Structure 1
Amino acid sequence: MDKTDISVKRQFLVLVHLDLKGAPPKVSYLAEIFPLFAQLGASGILIEYEDMFPYGGKLEVLKSKYAYSPSEIKSILHLAKSNGLEVIPLVQTFGHMEFVLKHGEFSHLREVENFPNALNPHKVGSLELVHLMIDQVMALHEDVKWFHIGCDEVFFLGEGEESKMCLKQGQNHVDRLFLSHVKAVAQHIVTAYQGVKPIIWDDMLRDSPEDHIKESDVALLVEPMIWDYSPEFDINGKVSLAEKYQKCGFNKIWFASAFKGATGANQQLTHVRHHLENQFLWLQVAKAFPGDLVQGITLTGWQRYDHYSVLCELLPVGMPCLAVCLQAVAHGQFSEKEDETVKKCLGLSSLDTNSVVSDDFGTFPGNDILRLVTEAAFQLAASTESLLKGNRYVTGWFSPYHRKHKFVNPMMVQYFENECRSLLSKWEQHAEQLRSAMENIYYPNTMEEWFDEYFNPFLTKLQQLVFDLDHVSNT
Structure 2
Amino acid sequence: MKNSEMSGSSPFKMRLVHLDLKGAPPKVSYLSEVFPLFHALGANGLLLEYEDMFPYEGRLRLLRAKHAYSPPEIREILHLATLNQLEVIPLVQTFGHMEFVLKHEALAHLREVALFPNTLNPHEAEALALVGAMVSQVMELHPGARWFHVGCDEVYYLGEGETSRRWLQQEHNTKARLCLSHIKAVACHVLARHPATRPLVWDDMLRAIPEDQLSALLMEKYRKCGFLRLWAASAFKGATGVSQALTPIEHHLRNNVQWLQVAARGPADLLQGVVLTGWQRYDHFSVLCELLPVGIPSLAVCLQSLLHGGFTEDVKAKVENFLGISNLEITDFTSEGPGSFPGSDILALVTHISLHLRSSVDALLERDRYVSGWFSPYHRRRRLIHPVMVQHIQPQALSLLARWSAVVRELEAALHRVFYPDAVEEWLEENVQPSLRRLQALLQDLREAAGARPHVAQDP
- Equivalences for residues 115-154 of structure 1 within 5 A: 115-154=116-155
CA distance in 1: counterparts of 2:228 and 2:127, whole angstroms = 29
Paired position in structure 2 for 1:314: 291
Q: Which moved more, 1:348-357 or 1:437-446?
A: 348-357
Q: CA deviation at 1:353?
A: 1.7
2:108 paired with 1:107: yes
How far apart are 1:11 and its partner, in Å? 5.1
Instruction: Give the match's secondary structure for 2:330.
Output: coil
Query: Deviations for 1:54-81, whole angstroms, at most 9, x for unmatched residues?
Result: 1111111111000000000000000000
Structure 1 length-normalised TM: 0.91
Q: Give the distance between the partners of 2:257 and 2:436, measured in 1 at CA.
A: 41
- The 5-angstrom pairing of residues 286-365 of structure 1 reads 286-365=263-342
Find the aligned partners of 1:343 and 1:389 in 2 and give their Cα distance: 39
Aligned-pair distance for 1:469? Answer: 2.5
Distance (whole Å) between structure 1 residues aligned to residue 348 and residue 9 of structure 2: 35
Instruction: Output one character per residue of 1:363-411: Cα deviation in whole Å (capped at 9) or x when no partner.
Output: 1111111011101111111011111110121122222332333222111
Residue correspondence of structure 1 range 74-113 to structure 2 within 5 A = 74-113=75-114
Structure 2 match to 1:31: 32
Unaligned runs of 5+ in 2: 1-7, 453-460
TM-score by length of 2: 0.94
- The answer to whether residue 435 in structure 2 is matched with residue 458 in structure 1 is yes
Give the counterpart letter for 1:158 in structure 2. G
Per-residue CA shift, 1:16-55, capped at 9, x if unaligned? 0000001100000000000000000001010000011111
Deviation at 1:292, TM superposition (A): 1.9
Give the Cα–Cα distance (whole angstroms) in 1 for the partners of residues 180 and 11 of structure 2.
31
Contact 2:346 2:411 in 1 (8 A): yes
CA 1:202 to 1:180, structure 2 compared with 1: closer, same or farther past 3 Å? Answer: same
Structure-1 residue corresponding to 2:44: 43
CA distance in 2, matches of 1:120, 1:238: 32
Alpha-carbon distance in structure 1 between the residues aligned to 2:273 and 2:157: 30
Match of 1:272 in 2: 249
Residue in 2 aligned with 1:179? 180
Is the alpha carbon distance of 1:300 and 1:115 closer, same or farther for their aligned partners in structure 2, counting shifts above 3 Å?
A: same
Instruction: Provide the residue aligned with 1:253 in structure 2.
Output: 230
Aligned to 1:429: 406
For residues 424-469 of structure 1, give each alpha carbon's deviation from its aligned partner in whole angstroms, at most 9, with x where no partner exists: 1111111101101101001111011111111100011111112222
Tell whether the 8 Å contact from 1:8 to 1:283 is kept in structure 2 after alignment.
no
- Describe the superposition over 1:167-197 as per-residue Cα deviations: whole angstroms up to 9, x where unpaired: 1112111111101101110001011012100
Identity among equivalent positions (%) equals: 55
Q: CA deviation at 1:238?
A: 1.2
- Whether the 8 Å contact between 2:41 and 2:304 is mirrored in structure 1 is yes
State the shift of 1:472 in Å: 3.5
Distance in 2 between the 1:165 and 1:76 partners? Answer: 45
Partner Cα separation in structure 2 for residue 9 and residue 291 of structure 1 = 11
3-state SS of paired residue (1:462): helix
TM superposition shift of 1:207? 1.8
- 1:394 and 2:371 correspond: yes
Q: Distance in 1 between the 2:232 and 2:332 partners?
A: 26
1:375 equivalent to 2:376? Answer: no
Q: Distance in 2 between matches of 1:157 and 1:142?
A: 33
CA contact under 8 A between 1:112 and 1:159: conserved in structure 2? Answer: yes
Q: Give the distance between the partners of 1:124 and 1:100, measured in 2 at CA.
A: 16
Aligned to 1:281: 258
In 1, the alpha carbon distance for the partners of 2:50 and 2:10 equals 33
Equivalent residue for 1:414?
391
Q: Is the 8 A contact 2:374 2:389 kept in 1?
A: yes
Name the CA distance, whole Å, in 1 between partners of 2:270 and 2:137.
31
Residue 337 of structure 1: how far off its partner (Å): 2.3
CA displacement 1:343-378 (0-9 Å, x = unmatched): 111111111222222232201111111011101111
Query: 2:290 & 2:380 partners in 1: Cα distance?
Result: 36
Partner of 1:198: 199
Q: Secondary structure at the match of 1:415?
A: helix
Q: Distance in 2 between matches of 1:159 and 1:201?
A: 21
Give, in whole Å, the separation in 1 of the partners of 2:171 and 2:340: 63
Per-residue deviation, 1:418 = 1.3
Paired residue for 1:241, among 218, 225, 231?
218
- For residues 301 and 284 of structure 1, what CA distance do their matches in structure 2 show? 21
Match of 1:70 in 2: 71
* Counterpart Cα distance in 1 of 2:265 and 2:336: 39
* Contact 2:21-2:50 at 8 Å conserved across structures: yes
Which AA in structure 1 matches 2:138?
Answer: V
Q: Distance in 1 between matches of 2:183 and 2:401?
A: 54
SS at match of 2:19: strand
In the alignment, which residue of structure 2 is the partner of 1:19?
A: 20
Q: Is the contact made by 1:11 and 1:291 (CA closer than 8 Å) also made in structure 2?
A: no
Structure 1 unaligned residues grouped into runs of 5+: 1-6, 209-227
State the alpha-carbon separation in 2 of the partners of residues 56 and 400 from structure 1.
55
Question: What does residue 217 of structure 1 align with?
Answer: none
Native 8 Å contact 1:8 1:286 kept in 2: no
Secondary structure, counterpart of 2:231 in structure 1:
strand
Deviation at 1:290, TM superposition (A): 2.6
Equivalent position SS for 1:111: coil
Distance in 2 of aligned mates of 1:436 and 1:467: 27
Cα distance in 2 for residues equivalent to 1:445 and 1:247: 47
Aligned partner of residue 352 in structure 1, secondary structure: coil
Moved more, 327-336 or 65-74: 327-336
Contact 1:53 1:69 in 2 (8 A): yes
Shift of 1:9: 5.8
| Equivalent pair of 2:92/2:149 in contact (CA under 8 Å) | yes
Partners of 1:468 and 1:15 in 2: CA distance: 53
How far apart in 1 are the matches of 2:12 and 2:67? Answer: 37
